[in-house]
Structure formats: C-alpha cells, structure tokens
C-alpha cells in the first residue's frame, strides 16, 4: 500500500509573502498541485497562450515559495533531499520550456535571456547534487567543443538512445503507479516515486543541455538583427540583394553528351601539369635520397648475409678467383690481340 509522502510540498503557498508583481495565489494552491498541472505541458504542446501565461505565473509563485522554504542547499547531498521535494528541482526548467514555446511573444530576445538564465540555474542546481557528473554522456557534453565531428555525432546518437530509454522506463513506472490505489504520486510507494522523480529530473537535464546551444544561437541572431535596426540597416533587404548578386553570376553551360562530343574527348590532348624548376629540383633530390637510402639498406643486408657465411668457404672462393685471374693474365700475355679472328692467321 502506498504511503503519503508528507513533506513541505504539502504546504500551501498562500502563507508566503509574494512579490507585488506576482499574481495573487489561488486559495489552496500547493507546490504539488502546480507541478501536477505544469509538467504534462512539456509533452503536449499547448497552443492556448492564456493557459501558458497562467501556468508560468503559478511556477513563478512556486519557485518563490521553494526559495523561501529552503528546499535545496549546496551543503547537502541528494540523499538528504526528501522524495517529494526532488521533483521541484524541475520548476525553473518547466518555466523555461513553457516560455520557450510561447506563441507570438512580444519580446522574444528578452524571453530568450530569461530562458537561458532559468535553464542555467536548473543545470547548476542539479550539478550541486552531482546529477551531471554521474552521467557519462552529460560529462562529455560539457566538453563537446573539443570533440571531433565523428565524436560529436556518436555523442548525439548515444544521447538520443539514452533519452529514449529514460522515457520508456518512466512510462513503465508511471503505468505501474496507476495500478495502485491512487494515481497521485504523493500516495505511491516512496521508492517508486523517488525513481520516477529522478527520471524526470534527468530527462530535464538532457533537454536543457541540448536546448542551451540553440538558445544561444537564436540570441546571437536576434542581437545582430537589433543592432542592424539601430544602425538603420534592413537585413531582409541585404539578404535579398545578396540573393540577386548570386543569381547574376554567370552560369555554366549545360553539358550535352552526344556521340560526337564523346569522340572528340577521346582523342583530345589532355593538359600537362607543370611545376617550377625549384619544385622539380626538390623532387629529384627527394628521389635521390630515397634511392641512396634503399641502396644503403641493400648493402647492409648483403654484408649481413656475407658475415653469416663460414670462413673456410670464403678463403676457398678467394683462392679460386685468384687462380682464375692468373690464368687469364698468362693467356693474354701469350696471345696477341685479335689472334684467331681470321682464317689462316
């Protein structure tokens, strides 16, 4: 039987002092109810802007209450955090994702800076509990700038597989929780609920670390556009003019392969690539050095083979060569040059 996860998350947010700019807190609204209302919007895109605005306002009140109650501290480990409180690590991430999907924003650049701040806070708080350092894929992602293109591609593949495995496992645990007396995770088995909340946080980390790159790129583009507007430049007009210049470039003539064209190319003299005199001399020097090196290796091998021959055989071969040389010396002394070349001589 499930046990109610009694923790500070059951407290209502009404008793907390809310900033003047924050909308009033509805009666009886709790941190758990806000999370239960907001988290499903991450999976199901919400087109209603009013729903998103209302949910974001509730998340802001929830984050204010979390900070006031001191749910998380850098001086504690993840084991010290109560099971019911783990999910509230996701509050800034959920707010950032809903703000990122807001249709027709009035100040997109300002929203992006706010989204970046929220995601960075979420990642930093998770790192305080070693949730990044424990995951090898997230550790690699932190140093992705030093990866080669092939390593980066492999990292994205591994990241996708791990994220898909997390989602499948989370769905399985959620279905098992629905079979209990209540689908409310506050009444689920504590060990099961803790595993579910940790999976939610890890999935949020994978999403946040991946989105930060795109957020930074979009901020760079919008800042460049804003700077261009301040300088009185029209980026659309500049892009149009650049496209027109590209279209004005001379185009290559289409190639029509016919029998006559092919026959002409068969007997066509191919261009000969030429090099400078200095390059030719350097090439000859390299080839000469290569030949000399090969010859030295060959001579060394021959000397090694001769050294392996017995001394007796070497003396006999030398003596035989000496006797043969003496014979031919005597023959040359006793015969005149050209003798025997003509008959009768």
Distance CA 72, CA 63 (A): 11
Q: Does the pLDDT of residue 160 top 50, yes or no? A: yes
Q: Minimal CA–CA distance to 123: which of 39, 51, 202?
A: 202
Dihedral sign for Cα 213, 215, 216, 218, please.
positive
Query: What is the reported pLDDT for 174?
Result: 85
Q: How far is CA 225 from CA 218, 232, 234, in A?
A: 11, 10, 9
Give dist(CA 118, CA 72) in Å, integer: 16
Residue 277 clears pLDDT 80, i.e. is over it: no
Name every residue whose Cβ is closer than 8 Å to that of residue 266 and which is 6 or more positions away in sequence.
none
pLDDT at 202: 92
How confident is the model at residue 204, as a pLDDT?
92
DSSP type of residue 276: -
H helical segments located in 179-310: 190-230, 235-248, 259-266, 277-308
Mean pLDDT of 26-54: 82
Model confidence pLDDT, tens digit, residues 5-23: 434 445 455 444 444 444 4
Mean pLDDT along residues 197-205: 92
Asked if pLDDT for residue 4 goes beyond 90, the answer is no
Mind listing the pLDDT tens digit for each residue in 145-156? 777 888 888 888
- What does the pLDDT average to over 76-104? 90
What is residue 199's predicted lDDT score, i.e. its pLDDT? 92
For 66, counting Cβ atoms within 10 Å of its Cβ (0-12 exposed, 13-18 middle, 19+ buried), the class is: buried
Interatomic CA distance for residues 151 and 34, integer angstroms: 40
Alpha carbon 229 to chain centroid distance?
34
Average pLDDT score over the chain: 78
The rounded percent of the chain whose pLDDT value lies above 70 is 74
Of all residues in the chain, the percent with pLDDT exceeding 90 is 18
CA distances from 132 to 24, 141, 163, 194, 196 (A): 36, 10, 14, 18, 17
């Amino acid at each position: 039987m499930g046990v109610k996860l009694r923790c500070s998350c059951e407290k209502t947010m009404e008793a907390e002092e809310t900033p003047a700019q924050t909308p009033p807190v509805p009666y009886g609204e709790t941190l758990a109810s806000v999370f239960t209302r907001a988290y499903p919007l991450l999976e199901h895109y919400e087109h209603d802007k009013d729903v998103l605005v209302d949910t974001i306002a509730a998340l802001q009140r929830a984050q204010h209450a979390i900070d006031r109650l001191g749910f998380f501290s850098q001086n504690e480990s993840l084991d010290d955090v109560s099971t019911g409180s783990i999910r509230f690590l996701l509050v800034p991430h959920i707010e950032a994702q809903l703000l990122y999907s807001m249709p027709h924003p009035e100040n997109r650049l300002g929203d992006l800076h706010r989204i970046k701040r929220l995601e960075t806070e979420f990642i930093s708080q998770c790192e305080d509990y070693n949730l990044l350092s424990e995951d090898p894929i997230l550790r690699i992602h932190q140093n992705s700038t030093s990866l080669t293109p092939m390593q980066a591609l492999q990292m994205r593949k591994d990241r996708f597989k791990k994220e898909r495995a997390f989602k499948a496992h989370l769905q399985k645990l959620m279905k098992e929780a629905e079979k209990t007396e209540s689908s409310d995770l506050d009444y689920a088995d504590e060990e099961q609920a803790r595993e579910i909340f940790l999976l939610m946080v890890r999935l949020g980390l994978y999403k946040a670390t991946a989105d930060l790159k795109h957020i930074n790129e979009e901020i760079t583009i919008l800042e460049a556009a804003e700077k261009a507007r301040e300088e009185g430049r029209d980026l659309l007009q500049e892009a149009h003019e650049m496209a027109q210049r590209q279209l004005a470039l001379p185009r290559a003539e289409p190639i029509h392969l016919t029998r006559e064209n092919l026959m002409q190319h068969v007997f066509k003299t191919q261009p000969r690539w030429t090099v400078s005199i200095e390059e030719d001399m350097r090439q000859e020097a390299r080839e000469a050095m290569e030949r000399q090196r090969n010859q030295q290796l060959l001579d060394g091998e021959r000397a090694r083979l001769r050294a392996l021959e017995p001394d007796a055989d070497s003396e006999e071969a030398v003596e035989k060569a000496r006797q043969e040389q003496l014979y031919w010396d005597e023959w040359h002394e006793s015969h005149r040059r050209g003798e025997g070349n003509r008959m009768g001589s």
